[in-house]
């Protein structure tokens, strides 16, 4: 089973197009329906978590793999926030310089000790 888990992980890493993020599917490793492995992929911040699970009779084994890569190799990233349906709140004289990746809701003014954002943009 360990070899099947590793094979499924290697296939998923070498051919990422076979499985979209936030989906799961079965992979028939040898096209004989005897070595089926369930695989799933989801985002965790700037990382991907790939889960592989194999069964043989009543025995089940799974492996979780945390995969990281450069977001954009050509650009330096100052700030990356996963989109969890929340704003980035800024207050005081906050200044962020560089490339940023923000949630869809964007940025809003926040307050710290009763003081709001005092910057220009």
- Rounded to whole angstroms, how far apart are CA atoms 70 and 68? 7
* Tally of CB atoms within 10 A around 54: 24
Residue 84, helix vs strand vs coil: coil
Residue spans of the chain under pLDDT 70 = 69-75
- Residues 53-65 pLDDT 10s: 998 888 999 999 9
**Using an 8 Å Cβ cutoff, are 86 and 45 in contact?**
no
Pure H helices in the chain: 2-14
pLDDT at 50: 93
pLDDT at 117: 87
**Using an 8 Å Cβ cutoff, are 25 and 47 in contact?**
no
pLDDT at 100: 87
pLDDT at 49: 93
């Amino acid at each position: 089973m360990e070899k099947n888990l590793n094979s499924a992980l290697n296939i998923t890493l070498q051919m990422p197009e076979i499985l979209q993020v936030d989906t799961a599917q079965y992979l028939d490793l040898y096209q004989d329906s005897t070595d089926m492995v369930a695989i799933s992929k989801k985002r965790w911040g700037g990382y991907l978590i790939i889960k592989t699970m194999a069964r043989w009779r009543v025995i089940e084994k799974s492996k979780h793999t945390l995969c990281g890569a450069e977001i954009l190799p050509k650009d330096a990233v100052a700030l990356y926030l996963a989109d969890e349906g929340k704003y980035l709140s800024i207050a005081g004289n906050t200044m962020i310089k560089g490339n940023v990746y923000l949630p869809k809701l964007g940025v809003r003014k926040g307050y710290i000790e009763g003081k709001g954002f005092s910057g220009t943009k």
